[in-house]
């Protein structure tokens, strides 16, 4: 699903050389470039070349290529930055915090004492969220299993 014209998409513009980008990696299917915001150094974005809005819209080959490139670039980020941890994440839709509607993997190195948001895990722990019982976990797993193609 595409809700914007790719010619208006900032990531398509970067990929086509019509907006500035600091490229880390490029192949026929994917590219990686520096995030314009660097709350910590070596923050990188990995994208499919095609204008695909969210992960739901990726075909299998695009999904494989995106993750393969992400893993390669993550290794390079780890080696270059000397980070002590690294978040890989991406957002789908405005409610999930997606600002740029071209699917992208964030590579976010973590350093001792950085001031970034805690992970979802520590957020949940800090909120004291109860763990659902096993029956509820089994029910959700069965529902998801049934909806897998
Ligand atoms: P999201 O909020 O998940 O859609 O992430 C969008 C990301 O794209 C943010 O981390 C922005 O800093 C980054 N970004 C936006 N515009 C540019 C740009 N022109 N070049 C590089 N990164 C960008
Ligand atoms: Zn795009």
Kindly tell me if the per-residue pLDDT of 2 is higher than 60: no
The string of pLDDT tens digits covering residues 114-141 is 988 877 777 777 788 888 898 988 998 8
Residues sharing a CB contact under 8 Å with residue 84, sequence separation 6 or more, in sequence order: 110, 111, 112
Determine the residue of 14, 40, 45 to mutate for testing ligand 1's pocket, defined as the one with the most ligand atoms within 8 A of the Cβ atom: 45
The string of pLDDT tens digits covering residues 74-86 is 999 999 999 999 9
Taking the CA of residue 34 as reference, the ligand 1 atom at the shortest distance is 21
The pLDDT value given to residue 137: 81
Q: Are 106 and 37 in contact (CB under 8 A)?
A: no
Which H or E run includes 61? helix 60-81
The pLDDT value given to residue 149: 63
The string of pLDDT tens digits covering residues 85-108 is 999 999 999 999 999 999 999 999
Instruction: Enter the DSSP assignment of 145.
Output: H
Domains of the chain: 6-116 (3.30.428.10), 119-149 (no CATH)
Residues, beta carbon < 5 Å, ion ligand 2: 6, 9, 11-12, 51, 102
Kindly tell me if the per-residue pLDDT of 112 is higher than 90: yes
Determine the residue of 15, 44, 52, 99 to mutate for testing ligand 1's pocket, defined as the one with the most ligand atoms within 8 A of the Cβ atom: 99
pTM: 0.92
**Structure-derived torsion over alpha carbons of residues 19, 11, 105, 87, reported in degrees to the nearest 10:** 40
- What is the residue-averaged pLDDT of the chain? 92
The pLDDT value given to residue 1: 52
The pLDDT value given to residue 7: 83
Catalytic annotation on 106?
A: no
Kindly tell me if the per-residue pLDDT of 65 is higher than 60: yes
Which H or E run includes 120? helix 120-126
Residue 49 CA: distances (Å) to CA of 46, 72, 106: 10, 17, 15
The string of pLDDT tens digits covering residues 10-59 is 999 999 999 999 999 999 999 999 999 999 999 999 999 999 999 999 99
């Amino acid at each position: 699903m595409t809700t914007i014209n790719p010619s208006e998409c900032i990531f398509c513009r970067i990929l086509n050389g019509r907006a500035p980008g600091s490229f880390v990696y490029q192949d026929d299917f994917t590219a990686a470039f520096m995030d314009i915001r660097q709350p910590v150094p070596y923050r990188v974005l990995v994208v499919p070349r095609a204008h695909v809005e969210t992960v739901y819209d990726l075909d299998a080959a695009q999904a494989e290529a995106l993750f393969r490139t992400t893993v390669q670039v993550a290794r390079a980020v780890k080696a270059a930055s000397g980070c002590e941890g690294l978040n890989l994440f991406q957002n789908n839709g405005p409610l999930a915090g997606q600002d740029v509607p071209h699917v992208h993997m964030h590579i976010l190195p973590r350093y001792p004492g950085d001031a970034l948001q805690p992970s979802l895990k520590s957020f949940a722990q800090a909120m004291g969220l109860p763990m659902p019982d096993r029956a509820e976990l089994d029910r959700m797993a069965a529902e998801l299993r049934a909806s897998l193609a």
